[in-house]
């Protein structure tokens, strides 16, 4: 009888702990995380960029821009498919990767009207995730004359837009300055 009473007491104690933890971790904690996420709405929704009330993309994910009137992102091993986020897994001495880089370098140099040696590395190499939305200021600057010519804008105006879209180093010393291609293209006059 004593054993049965102890077993029932322990079972009720375990059920109470289960109920308390279920309420805390299954209801209150998710509700608190949701509430904090709502306090910073764009972050919780994927840092969406809206132009004239329409979502044009996420500030966190790269995407392709077709045509010479747009700034181009860096290459993507997965064609900017969020479900296929991955690098190519080709090593730096792999002949296929070397050939792809040289092909991209020649194409960018021809499109921008520069020597192949002037093409920055991020113009010809994909990021590790294949979803990087940023390019270097050097690559954005290389594209300024083409975009200005195609849009009929003064080069200085387009260069100013690049400067405004350039983010500095994190905390002033981590990483390198970057340009978010989606934000830059959204800031172009007539970017519909």
| C-beta of residue 191 within 8 angstroms of C-beta of residue 151 | no
pLDDT interval class at 86 (50, 70, 90) = low
| C-beta of residue 72 within 8 angstroms of C-beta of residue 187 | no
| C-beta of residue 89 within 8 angstroms of C-beta of residue 130 | no
Give the per-residue pLDDT at 85.
67
Cα–Cα distance for residue pair 111/146, rounded to 1 Å: 8
pTM: predicted TM-score of the whole model, two decimal places: 0.74
Q: pLDDT by residue (tens digit) across 126-153?
A: 877 777 889 999 999 999 999 999 999 9
β-strand 178-180 against 166-167: which pairing, if any? antiparallel
Query: DSSP state, 133?
Result: -
Of residues 156 and 65, more confidence is placed in: 156
Mean pLDDT of the chain: 86
Span 169-177, average pLDDT: 88
| C-beta of residue 97 within 8 angstroms of C-beta of residue 77 | no
Give backbone dihedrals phi and psi of 167, rounded to 5 degrees, phi first. -100, 140
Span 39-52, average pLDDT: 71
Span 10-39, average pLDDT: 89
Span 32-46, average pLDDT: 73
């Amino acid at each position: 009888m004593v054993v049965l009473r102890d077993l029932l007491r322990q079972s009720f104690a375990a059920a109470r702990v289960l109920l308390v933890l279920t309420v805390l971790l299954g209801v209150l904690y998710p509700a608190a995380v949701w509430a904090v996420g709502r306090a910073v709405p764009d972050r919780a929704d994927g840092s969406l960029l809206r132009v004239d009330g329409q979502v044009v993309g996420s500030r966190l994910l790269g995407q392709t821009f077709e045509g010479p009137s747009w700034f181009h992102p860096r290459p993507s091993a997965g064609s900017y498919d969020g479900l296929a986020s991955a690098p190519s897994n080709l090593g730096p001495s792999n002949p296929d990767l070397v050939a792809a880089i040289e092909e991209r370098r020649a194409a960018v140099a021809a499109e921008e009207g520069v020597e192949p040696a002037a093409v920055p590395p991020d113009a010809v190499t994909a990021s590790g995730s294949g979803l990087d939305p940023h390019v270097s200021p050097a690559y954005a600057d290389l594209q300024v004359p083409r975009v200005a010519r195609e849009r009929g804008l003064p080069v200085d105006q387009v260069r100013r837009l690049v400067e405004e879209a350039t983010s500095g180093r994190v905390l002033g010393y981590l990483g390198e300055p970057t340009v978010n291609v989606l934000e830059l293209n959204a800031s172009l006059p007539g970017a519909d």
